[in-house]
Amino acid sequence: MARQYVGIDLHRRRSVVVRMDGRGRVLSSVRIENDPLTVARTVAEAGPGAEVTFEATYGWYWLADLLEADGYRVRVAHPLAMKGMTTNRRVKTDWKDATLLADLMRMRSLPEGWIAPAEVRELRELVRYRAKLSRLLNVFKNQIHVVMAKNGVLPAAVDLLGRRGTAQLDHLELADAYTIRIESLRDMITATKREIAMLDRTIHRRLATDPGYTTIQGIDGIGRVLAAVFVAEIGDVHRFPTAEKLCSWAGVTPKHRESDKTKHQSDITKMACGPAGPEGTGSQCPSGRCRDDHRRWARPSPSPADLRLHRLGHRRGVHREDCPGRPGSSACLAWPVRRGGQRDLRPGGLHRLALRRRGTRTFRCGGALSGASRDGGAEASEASGQDRPS
């Protein structure tokens, strides 16, 4: 029997399964319930040795384990790369998505992700859950500051959970509603810190004999928490043949754009984390002409920065005919961009975005980017691009 290819468009309750032969002909397509027996029976129609693929979407672990246990060659498609292939399609259905997955695998063009072993996935579950609890802990602390600010109470110490901060909270005399809220937040902080300590002990016991976990802590600034993050997210480091490929996977390599004799190289990419925030902070459009409502995928800026709006007629740098502007005064500061900040910016009129970081100037016009020297002596040369008028 000739090898067949199975594409699965995975959803929470139901999925679409498409079978395809080596010539690209669709043999069957069916929508099924996400029941292990139903999935196994449907995929079994492709015969032994079939190759099965699906996107690494919400809750895909069980499907990968099920199909691998049945002896199929399982490949997981990268959701970000697949999104780039399907974003601009006029007709997008579950059937077409499953057919595209099977066809890409048949042509050996599937943007493939790594299926981590079960023990690595379990470690990631613990590490990521600890990170989420740490974020919740900061949320609870900030809410206490909010309640104090509403009542005009200044914190006696930077750390409200320290000795001085705890003494101040114990002696606060506020209205019943505010007192109840602060007491509730303090209880949740205590419970969250207890769970974080439990996770730290569990993670350390799991990694105590891991050579990578102990070795990476020799780097200044990396303790048990960050070492566990590195080990969990990288997994088997030997799957990267060189250090350069590991850096590229981690997104710490610069972005490079080259066409004819024109080359543009910007900051590190840090790609594949989530939708871009304000226009101009994501990856560049291939054409350099980006729509305001087009959401590109990139991680937030790695360092605090100021996002400013400037009239094109009053920008620094060399004027380019392909980036026309009109005279006018510079607009005021829009907002500070912090770590993890993802906010949309829809400027009125023809503007360009200026992303200014510590010690350097980086300007963006539409989807294009250009930079100035670190000492500020050299003027920024504008890259081609044009904002879309509102």
Give me the CATH number covering residue 40.
3.30.420.10
Residue 104 sits in the same domain as residue 18: yes
Q: Specify the range with the lowest mean pLDDT, choosing from 152-166, 256-270, 342-356.
A: 342-356
Domain end among 234, 269, 297 = 234
Distance CA(355)–CA(213), nearest Å, equals 37
**383 by DSSP, 3-state: which?**
coil
Q: Specify the range with the lowest mean pLDDT, choosing from 79-83, 94-98, 176-180.
A: 79-83
pLDDT: which is higher, 302 or 216? 216
Residue 306, in any domain of the structure: yes
Residues shown for the chain: 390
Residue 80 sits in the same domain as residue 149: no
Residue 109 sits in the same domain as residue 122: no
Domain end among 63, 86, 113 = 113
What percent of the chain has a predicted confidence (pLDDT) above 70?
68
Confidence of residue 149 (pLDDT cuts 50, 70, 90): very high
Q: Mean pLDDT for the chain?
A: 74
Residue 123 sits in the same domain as residue 230: yes
Question: What confidence score (pLDDT) does residue 89 get?
Answer: 86
Residue 124 sits in the same domain as residue 185: yes
Q: Secondary structure of the chain: what % helix, strand, coil (to 5)?
A: 35, 20, 45
Distance CA(331)–CA(313), nearest Å, equals 12
Question: What confidence score (pLDDT) does residue 138 get?
Answer: 93
Phi, psi (deg, nearest 5) at residue 61: -55, -50
Residue 51 sits in the same domain as residue 133: no
Question: What confidence score (pLDDT) does residue 248 get?
Answer: 83
CA proximity to 185, closest of 153, 135, 138:
138
Residue 389, in any domain of the structure: no
Residue 72 sits in the same domain as residue 148: no
pLDDT digit string, tens, across residues 46-73:
998 899 999 999 999 999 999 999 999 9
Asked if the model's pLDDT at residue 206 lies above 80, the reply is: yes
Residue 25 sits in the same domain as residue 99: yes
- Which domain range does residue 355 map to? 254-371
How deeply is 318 buried, as exposed, middle or buried, from its count of CB atoms within 10 A (0-12, 13-18, 19+)?
Answer: exposed
- Mean pLDDT (whole number) for 189-205: 96
Residue 9 sits in the same domain as residue 68: yes
* Residue 247 · residue 253 · CB < 8 Å: yes
Distance CA(235)–CA(238), nearest Å, equals 9
Question: What confidence score (pLDDT) does residue 253 get?
Answer: 82
Asked if the model's pLDDT at residue 298 lies above 80, the reply is: no
Phi, psi (deg, nearest 5) at residue 19: -105, 140
Domain end among 84, 113, 142 = 113
Residue 227 sits in the same domain as residue 162: yes
Question: What confidence score (pLDDT) does residue 25 get?
Answer: 94
Confidence of residue 271 (pLDDT cuts 50, 70, 90): low
**38 by DSSP, 3-state: which?**
helix
Residue 45, in any domain of the structure: yes
Residue 96 sits in the same domain as residue 33: yes
- Mean pLDDT (whole number) for 226-238: 92
Number of domains in the chain: 3
Confidence of residue 232 (pLDDT cuts 50, 70, 90): very high
Residue type, 158: V
Asked if the model's pLDDT at residue 362 lies above 90, the reply is: no
CA proximity to 207, closest of 274, 146, 120:
120
* Residue 8 · residue 16 · CB < 8 Å: yes
Q: Which residues contact 175 (CB under 8 A, 6 or more apart)?
A: 151
Residue 18, in any domain of the structure: yes
* Residue 366 · residue 385 · CB < 8 Å: yes
Tokens, residue 130: 């600890």
Question: What confidence score (pLDDT) does residue 245 get?
Answer: 87
